[in-house]
Amino acid sequence: MKQVNTRGGGDVKSLRVLILEDSARDAELVVRELRNFGYDPHWTRVETEEGFRAQLNAELDLILADYTLPQFDAPGAMQILQERELSVPFIIVTGTITEETAVSVLKQGADDFLLKDRLARLGPSVASALEQRRLREERKRAQELLIRSEARFRRLVTRMSALVVELDPRGTILFVNDPVSAVTGFSPEELLARNAFELFFPGEARSQVDTAMQVLYQGEDLHNHVTRCRIKSGEWISLEWTTANEYRIDGRLQKIIAFGLDITERERAALRIRRLSRLYAAISDVNEALVRSKTPDEMFAAVCRACVEQGGFKLAWVGLADDEMQRIVVAQAYGIEIETLNTIPFSTDADDPVGRGPTATAYRENRVHVCDDFLNDPAVAPWRERVAACGFLASVSLPIRQGGKPIGTLSAYSGEQSALDQEAVLLLERMAENISFAMDQFESERQRHALLEQRAADALHMTELSRRVVAVQEQERRQLSSELHDRTSPTLSAVALNLGMIASDLEPSAGEDLQSRLADSRGLLTDAIAGIRDVCAELRPVTLDYAGLPRALQGYAEQFSLRTGIAVEVSCADPDRRLAADTESSLFRVVQEALTNCAKHSKASAIHVELAYEGAQSRLTISDNGEGFDANALGRSEHRPGLGLITMRERAEFAGGKFSLESGPGQGTRISVVI
C-alpha cells in the first residue's frame, strides 16, 4: 500500500484489494465505501475458487469476501490463504450472519466481519485490519531479530568473547575477562578476590546460587543456567551460565570455570512478546464478547475478565461517568483487590486533587493515560499507600466513548513496572475503540427498540381509535335507523291514511284532477315509506339486534336479491346462536360490503353466504360465481386494492379475526373471515 496524489492535491492511500463476491453491485458499493474513507482501491472481483486462487498473491493489501457464494465460501478462501501462508487481512462482508458463525469465522482467522447494510464501519475495520497486519509483521521481524541475536551471541561465546569467570568453591573470584567488566561495570581490580556470590547475588537472590552449587557439588556441570545478577549500577541483569569445572581426585569441587552470556535484552524481548501475545489473546476474547454480549454490563464484565485472565493484568475495571455527581462510578470489575475500588473517590473535578488521577484524566481529557511507574507518579499521590499494598506497579486508563464523546473509562493495573510500551498501549487503544463502537451499537439498538415500541404503541392506539370510530358509527346508525323507523315512518304512514280518508270523503263530483293528485301523493308517500325502510335496513337492521346475525343476513339477502336480481343463499347450521354484539355488527358489515362489491364488479348470478361455528371459533364465508380477478396482483402499483376490500379487512381485524381472499380470472371470488 502506498500514498498517491489525488486530482485535488490531497493524499489518499492506494489499496490493492481482492473482492470475493458474486454481486457486482455489492462489490461496487464496497469499493465506493473504501473511497469514501480515503482509500484508492485497485480491485479485482472474483466469485469462484479458481478465480480466487488465480488472483491470490502476496502483493495484496486486503481481501473482502462474502460469507457464502453459489460456488465458494469465505471459510474455504481463508483455508487457501492459510495454506499459502499469506498474511493478507481478510474481512467478511455479508448480508446476514449468525452469532455462532461470526465467532467461528473470527476463530478461523478472519480479521473482522460486518453486514452489508452497515458498510459505514468498513473503513475503520479496514484500517484496524491493516494496522494489525503491520503489528504482526513487526512482531515477526522482532522474533527473527531475536533469533539472529541469539546466534550472534553464540558465535561470540565460541570466540571467547563471552563472560569468563573462575571461582574457588567458596565463590572467591580468581579470574575475569574483559567482557565481565563491560557487562557488570566493575573493573577487574574491583572483582578479583571478592566473593561473587555476595557481590552479585545479595539477599533473596542468593537462593539462585544455592541451587546451582548443589548441582556442582554433586559433580555435575551447569548448562544454560539463568540467574539474575545485580551489577555495579544497581540494575538487575539476566545471565545464562555454562560451567566446565575442575574436580579433585577425590571428586570434590576444586575450581568453577563459568562462561556467561548476558541475555537481559533477550529476556526483555521475550517478555515483550509474551505481553503482546497475552494482549492479543485478551483482544480476541473481547471481540468475542462484543459479538455475544446482549447488554453493556455483560460486555464490560467480559472485557474486565479478558484483561485479567488473558492480558495478564492484576485488576481491570470499567467505570461510567456521573456528570451530575462529578465522579466515575464502577460498573464492572475483575481481579484482585476489587474492594480497594470502593475506597477510592474517582472524582472528575479537575480542581480536586483526587480528580487529577489517571482514570479521571483519561475521561476528562478524552485520551489514554499511562503510568509506567505507578507508585512514583504524582497523579497517584492521594492513594499511593492503598495501591502499594495491592502490588500495582503500572496502570493504563483508556476512555470509552459513545457518539465520539467519553462516557467512562477502562482501567487496568499491572504488577510489572514499565510493562506498557507503545505497542501494548496501541493494542489497548484498539480494544477501547472496539468497546466504544459496541457502545454506539447498543445505543442504536436501544433507539431502534424504542422506536419500534413507539410505533407499536401508536399502531395500538390507532387500532383502538378505529374500533371506537366503528363503534360510534354503529351506534349512530342504530340511533338514526331507530329515529327513521319509530318516528318518520309512522308519521308518513299516518299522512298516507289521512290522504286516503280525504279521497274517500270527496264528493263524486270532485274533479278528476284532484282525485289524480291525491292518488299520486299517496303513491309518493308509499315509495317514501318503502325507501325509509330500505335505508333503515342498510343503516342497522332491527333484526340484527333482536333476532341475531343469521336472520339479519337472511333478511338483507332477500332485499339485495330484489334490488339486484342476483340470487343470494344464506346458510347457518345454528341460526339461534348469538355472538358478541360488536362481532355480529362487524360480520354483518363485511357481508354488506361483499355483496355490494359483487353487484358492482363481479357480474355474478349467484352468491352463497355461509356462517359456521367450530367450537369457540366462527367462520363467515362469502363466495360467488362471477368473473373473479388475479388476487396475487393486489398490492402492485397498477392493482391497488379497492376501498371495499380494505374496509372488509379492517372490520374483520377490528373484531379480532383474520380476513382472507381467494380469486382467479373466471373462478369467482371467495372471502373468508375467521373469528
The cell 509474551 sits on which residue?
274
Q: What share of the chain is helix, strand, coil (3-state, %, to 5)?
A: 55, 20, 25
Q: What's the pLDDT tens digit per position in 355-382?
A: 788 888 888 889 988 888 877 888 777 7
Nearest to 409 by CA among 505, 507, 331: 331
pLDDT attached to residue 10:
45
Rounded to whole angstroms, the Cα distance separating 114 from 74 reads 13
For 58, other C-beta atoms within 10 Å of its C-beta total 9
C-alpha cell at position 311 = 492480558
Residue among 445, 133, 434 at smallest CA distance from 289? 434
The residues spanned by each domain of the chain are 3-130, 160-262, 278-434, 542-674
User: What's the confidence (pLDDT) of residue 161?
Assistant: 67
Chain centre distance of CA 106: 15
pLDDT of residue 5: 37
Report the 10 Å Cβ neighbour count for 376.
Answer: 12
Which helix (H) or strand (E) covers residue 567, if one does? strand 567-572
How far apart are the C-alpha atoms of 439 and 406, rounded to whole Å?
11
Kind and range of the H or E run holding 387: helix 384-388
Closest CA to 228 of 243, 213, 241, 216: 241
Determine whether domain 278-434 maps to CATH 3.30.450.40. Answer: yes
User: Amino acid identity of 396?
Assistant: V
CATH class of 160-262: alpha beta
CA distances from 120 to 95, 130, 227, 432, 561 (A): 14, 17, 54, 19, 64
Q: How confident is the model at residue 6 (pLDDT cuts 50, 70, 90)?
A: very low
Those residues whose C-beta lies under 8 Å from the C-beta of residue 410, and which sit 6 or more positions away, are 303, 307, 316, 317, 318, 397, 398, 400, 431, 432, 435
- For 191-242, how does the pLDDT look when each residue is reduced to its tens digit (9 = 90+)? 898 988 888 888 777 788 888 888 887 778 888 888 888 888 888 888 888 8
Q: Which fold has domain 3-130?
A: Rossmann fold (3.40.50)
- What percentage of the chain has pLDDT greater than the value 90? 6
| Residue 264 Cα distances to 60, 166, 236, 343, angstroms | 38, 22, 9, 39
112 touches 284 (CB < 8 A): no
* Helix/strand/coil for 519: helix
pLDDT at 396: 87
Instruction: Supply the mean pLDDT for the chain.
Output: 81
CA gap 82, 546 in Å, rounded: 82
Q: What's the residue count for the chain?
A: 675
Q: By mean pLDDT, which of 221-230, 576-585, 605-614 is the weakest?
A: 576-585
What is the identity of the amino acid at 621?
T
pTM of full prediction above 0.85: no
Decide whether 278-434 matches 542-674 in CATH topology: no
Q: Which three cell numbers stand for residue 415?
A: 504488577
Residue 45 — very low, low, confident or very high, per pLDDT cuts 50/70/90?
very high
Query: Does 263 or 150 have the greater pLDDT score?
Result: 263
Query: For domain 542-674, which CATH number applies: 3.30.750.24, 3.40.50.300, 3.40.220.10, 3.30.565.10?
Result: 3.30.565.10
* Locus of grid cell 458498510: 119
Residue 546: strand, helix, or coil: helix
Higher-scoring residue by pLDDT: 24, 492: 24
Q: Which of 354, 349, 379, 346 is CA-nearest to residue 364?
A: 349
Decide if pLDDT at 84 tops 80: yes
Q: How many CA atoms lie within 13 A of 623 on its CB side?
A: 13
Residues 6+ apart with CB under 8 A from 36: 123
Looking at residue 530, its pLDDT comes to 66
pLDDT over threshold 60, residue 600: yes
